[in-house]
């Protein structure tokens, strides 16, 4: 059984965990568009591929799948998720299972305004979100929302181009210089991350790991501590099934005065997943079970509370002919 991981960048731990879970019964193949992506050197084999915007990108990935006899495929970056799922039939035709959600689900999750509309319609607590600046100002004048607010790209990721805005002048300037921005209510509370796996066969939520975030850096969790709350587990399970997610997902939640607000979802492995794995929550094994046509049993909350995660830097030295 061979697994192909796309756009690996610096996510060396994900590759290490998959290689360990395979127990030598298959290979992990990695791709990236740069030879300076250090995680590719952790894989059994790697390929340098074009940008995902290249018209022949999918054709190249299909070629790799056939050549390497790939059983399962996943991506580690948001912009690629919809592209892969859009071409799911092509992958299925050559025996490759996409480890992730459908195209419609990915698109809805990665569009922050669409996510807000869905959450509101289905009765979940979430941050007020505006795509129309005038609508925001109207609610501001009516004292339905106040500064500070967050201004961010509607389909952004990794906290790129996010600004905390305290006044009209700054907000107007941002909208003057950028397109496709949204305005989002500032949630003053404890930020929480959840790593969730939804079984590809049973469609059931089989694993949930939650952590309180202590420090963030470049959109990823730098320090965190594991915790459990049955109320939160029930909320996440209900939300995930109702939304239609499959496979691995990463959810951001805020605890504001004892109420849980769902913020964002990345339908992939999040940067903080190693915290879950090192606490005994092995989603790689769950994925491999599914690829072997085995359903997983529920292990929600099967980990210790009070495990602190602290990231630190490593380097890789390679001689390359670039």
Q: What is the CATH number of the domain that holds 244?
A: 3.30.470.20
**Nearest alpha carbon to residue 180 among 153, 150, 207:** 153
Please spell the DSSP secondary structure of 70-94, one letter per residue.
EEEEEESSHHHHHHHHHTHHHHHHT
**CB atoms inside a 10 Å sphere around CB 24:** 8
Q: How confident is the model at residue 160 (pLDDT cuts 50, 70, 90)?
A: low
Tell whether the torsion through CA atoms of 240, 246, 247 and 248 is positive or negative.
negative
pLDDT tens for residues 112-134? Answer: 999 999 999 999 999 999 999 99
Out of 48, 76, 98, pick the residue that ends a domain. 98
Question: Is 107 among the domain residues?
Answer: no
Mark whether 148 and 233 lie in a shared domain. Answer: no
Q: What's the number of domains the chain is made of? A: 3
pLDDT at 159 over 80: no
Strand (E) or helix (H) holding 21? helix 12-22
Mark whether 196 and 298 lie in a shared domain. Answer: yes
Report the C-alpha gap between 298 and 296 in whole angstroms: 7
pLDDT tens for residues 192-204? Answer: 999 999 999 999 9
pLDDT tens for residues 259-290? Answer: 999 999 999 999 999 999 999 999 999 999 99
Question: Is 207 among the domain residues?
Answer: yes
Residue in the structure block whose two tokens are 């990721």: 157
> What is the average pLDDT value for the chain, to the nearest integer?
96
Question: Is 321 among the domain residues?
Answer: no
Mark whether 194 and 306 lie in a shared domain. Answer: yes
Report the C-alpha gap between 57 and 68 in whole angstroms: 17
CA 285 to chain centroid, in Å, comes to 18
Q: What is the pLDDT of residue 220?
A: 79
Question: Is 197 among the domain residues?
Answer: yes
Question: Is 237 among the domain residues?
Answer: yes
Domain of 262, in residue numbers: 189-310
**CB atoms inside a 10 Å sphere around CB 294:** 11
**CB atoms inside a 10 Å sphere around CB 186:** 16
Average pLDDT over residues 13-18: 98
Among 41-45, 59-63, 155-159, 174-178, whose mean pLDDT is lowest? 155-159
Report the C-alpha gap between 187 and 106 in whole angstroms: 24
The SS3 assignment for 208 reads strand
pLDDT at 157 over 70: no
Contact 109, 243 (CB under 8 A): yes
Report the C-alpha gap between 48 and 41 in whole angstroms: 11
Question: Is 205 among the domain residues?
Answer: yes
**CB atoms inside a 10 Å sphere around CB 273:** 23
If you count them, how many residues does the chain have?
Answer: 322
Residue in the structure block whose two tokens are 């894989």: 43
Mark whether 200 and 300 lie in a shared domain. Answer: yes
Tell whether the torsion through CA atoms of 177, 181, 183 and 188 is positive or negative.
negative
Question: Is 318 among the domain residues?
Answer: no
Question: Is 103 among the domain residues?
Answer: no
């Amino acid at each position: 059984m061979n697994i192909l991981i796309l756009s690996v960048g610096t996510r060396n731990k994900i590759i290490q965990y998959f290689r360990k879970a395979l127990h030598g019964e298959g290979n992990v193949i990695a791709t990236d568009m740069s030879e300076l992506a250090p995680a590719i050197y952790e894989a059994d084999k790697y390929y340098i591929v074009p940008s995902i915007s290249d018209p022949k990108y999918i054709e190249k990935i299909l070629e790799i799948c056939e050549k390497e006899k790939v059983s399962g495929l996943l991506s580690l970056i948001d912009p690629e998720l919809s592209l892969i799922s859009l071409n799911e039939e092509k992958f299925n035709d050559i025996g490759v299972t996409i480890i992730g959600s459908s195209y419609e689900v990915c698109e809805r999750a990665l569009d922050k305004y669409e996510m807000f509309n869905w959450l509101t319609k289905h009765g979940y607590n979430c941050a007020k979100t505006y795509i129309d600046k005038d609508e925001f100002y109207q609610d501001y004048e009516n004292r339905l929302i106040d500064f500070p607010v967050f201004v961010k790209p509607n389909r952004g990721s990794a906290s790129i181009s996010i600004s905390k805005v305290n006044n009209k002048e700054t907000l107007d300037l941002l909208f003057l210089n950028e397109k496709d921005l949204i305005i989002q209510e500032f949630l003053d509370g404890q930020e929480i991350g959840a790593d969730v796996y939804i079984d590809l066969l049973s469609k059931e939520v089989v694993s949930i790991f939650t952590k309180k975030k202590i420090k963030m850096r470049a959109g990823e969790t730098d320090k965190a501590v594991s915790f459990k709350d049955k109320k939160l587990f029930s909320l996440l399970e209900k939300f995930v099934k109702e939304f239609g997610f499959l496979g691995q997902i990463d959810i951001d939640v805020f605890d504001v005065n004892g109420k849980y607000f769902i913020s964002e979802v990345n339908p992939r492995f999040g940067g903080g997943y190693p915290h879950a794995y090192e606490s005994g929550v092995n989603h790689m094994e769950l994925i491999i079970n599914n690829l072997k046509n085995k359903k997983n049993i529920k292990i929600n909350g099967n980990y210790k509370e009070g495990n602190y995660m602290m990231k630190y830097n490593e380097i890789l030295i390679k001689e390359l002919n670039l």
